[in-house]
Amino acid sequence: MLCPSFCLKDFPSLNMTDQPTHSGAVPAWLEEGFEHIWLPYTQMQDAPLPAPIARTEGCRLIMADGRELVDGVASWWTAAHGYNHPHIREAVTRQLETMPHVMLGGLAHEQAYTLAARLAKMTPGDLTRVFFSESGSVSVEIAMKMAVQYWINKGEKGRSRFVSFTGGYHGDTFATMSVCDPEEGMHSLFAGLLAEQIITDLPLTRAQEQEFETLLEDRCDGIAAVVMEPLVQGAGGMLLHSADTLAFIRAACDRHGVLLILDEIFTGFGRTGTMFACEQADVVPDIMTLSKALTGGTLPLAATLARTHVFDAFLSDSAGTALMHGPTYMGNALGCAAANASLDLFELDPPGPRVEKIEAHLMHALAPARQLPGVKDVRVKGAIGAIELEPHTDHDWMKAQFIERGVWIRPFGNIVYTTPPLVIEADDLACITSAMVDVVRDWGINKRKDG
């Protein structure tokens, strides 16, 4: 299968502003709606038109004029099985015909209860209780709320602070912003409004390990939990750490009586090579959060899982010890049906062997980028490949270049990365990696000329 190939000279507006107007035909819905929509992470004053997508198929995004882009980021890492998978589509269709949603307050439906039991069975250790919500950020907020109330229910009311790590990202809501890296820029505007947490470096060296031990020892009476992304810090720049580091953090939390929350929203469901990243360190968190690939990228759904000892702290004759949280659409029947179908696919065709092949290709195909001008590092872990560049603001130019080459890659910060669908074929994956190397090469040459 050949990569789609486009020519920027045919589309002057794309060449200049990253506006995919293709043959001069901007879809009416895009032109009209752009005057009203507010896009994520976008300065709307000079925002270019986004690429108009009419439909999806497999690992492809089909544009409004019929041309195709190989999706290199799986719609923010969600479309693990590709798009329009018939098994998921049929499950959602069946559910829609019977019951799209009922509240979980006082009512029950099969999809949510079946999904809870399956997640409890497939996650490591005794993560036996599942609380559903609609988004990853909210699932982390729920985890934080569980951790604080866990200590309150145990009679330790002063334990309300969280330890998180530089380079970490856990969401855009107010509580989750407080445990993100404060220097990465996304949330710095809100510094004075956020709860003050303890953000430190990952303990990657012996000296940092000792500093982390000392931190937990000195301040454990005020700490509810440590919050971290296992093995890969995604939105912080695809930063990697070892299974040994994760195992050390788990052991340190145990030594000092601190809960450990693992945010597996990005790393869960095979992305790093095992079903959950924490399995590579033989670690079981006290609380785990999941989302993104949970439904195969079809419907919004998230889950917060707690171990038995955490759940047991909420059991009492007093109503005041219950977890007082309940999103309106929690356990949405359509979302749970999609998730159950997604889990079917993971069970029928475990992602490990496919991710191993993707990782081998990424390591080989992205290696030449290490020698290109402007490149600081190349990192690969499982089905994650990242090229770190010197600081720049050329994201729109890069996106246009990727579209010209028939792929969808969305650089952020100084990172050009791919997190392809786990079912991607070799030809499509090669299309992605060759485009990454070519665009970075052209960027480096242009940067050197301009400099």
- Structure token pair of residue 394: 């050329």
Catalytic residue among 71, 169, 181, 417: 169
Beta carbons within 8 Å of 284's beta carbon, 6+ residues apart: 124, 125, 126, 127, 250, 278, 307
Backbone angles phi, psi at 307, to 5 degrees: -75, 165
Identify whether the C-beta of residue 274 lies closer than 8 Å to the C-beta of residue 64: no
Identify whether the C-beta of residue 143 lies closer than 8 Å to the C-beta of residue 126: no
Active site residue 41: yes
The CA distance from 310 to 152, in Å, is: 12
| 313-320 contacts at long range (C-beta below 8 A, 24 or more positions apart) | 313/150, 313/153, 313/154, 314/149, 314/150, 314/153, 316/153
Looking only at Cα atoms, what is the longest distance across the chain?
A: 72
Identify whether the C-beta of residue 157 lies closer than 8 Å to the C-beta of residue 382: no
Identify whether the C-beta of residue 150 lies closer than 8 Å to the C-beta of residue 259: yes
Query: Measuring CA to CA, which residue among 365, 368, 382 is closest to residue 431?
Result: 365
In angstroms, how far is CA 233 from the centroid of its own chain? 9
Sign of CA dihedral 126, 276, 227, 174: negative
Pairing of strands 287-290, 68-71: unpaired
Active site residue 292: yes
The CA distance from 394 to 449, in Å, is: 15
Catalytic residue among 71, 150, 181, 292: 292
Catalytic residue among 9, 41, 46, 449: 41
First and final C-alpha spacing in the chain: 38
Q: E strands, 232-313, where?
A: 232-233, 239-240, 259-263, 287-290, 302-307
Active site residue 417: no
**What single-letter amino acid sits at 65?**
D
Burial of 158 (0-12, 13-18, 19+ CB in 10 A): exposed
The CA distance from 229 to 351, in Å, is: 20
Catalytic residue among 18, 71, 181, 263: 263
Query: Measuring CA to CA, which residue among 285, 286, 270, 304 is closest to residue 130?
Result: 304
Q: Please identify every residue annotated as catalytic.
A: 41, 169, 263, 292
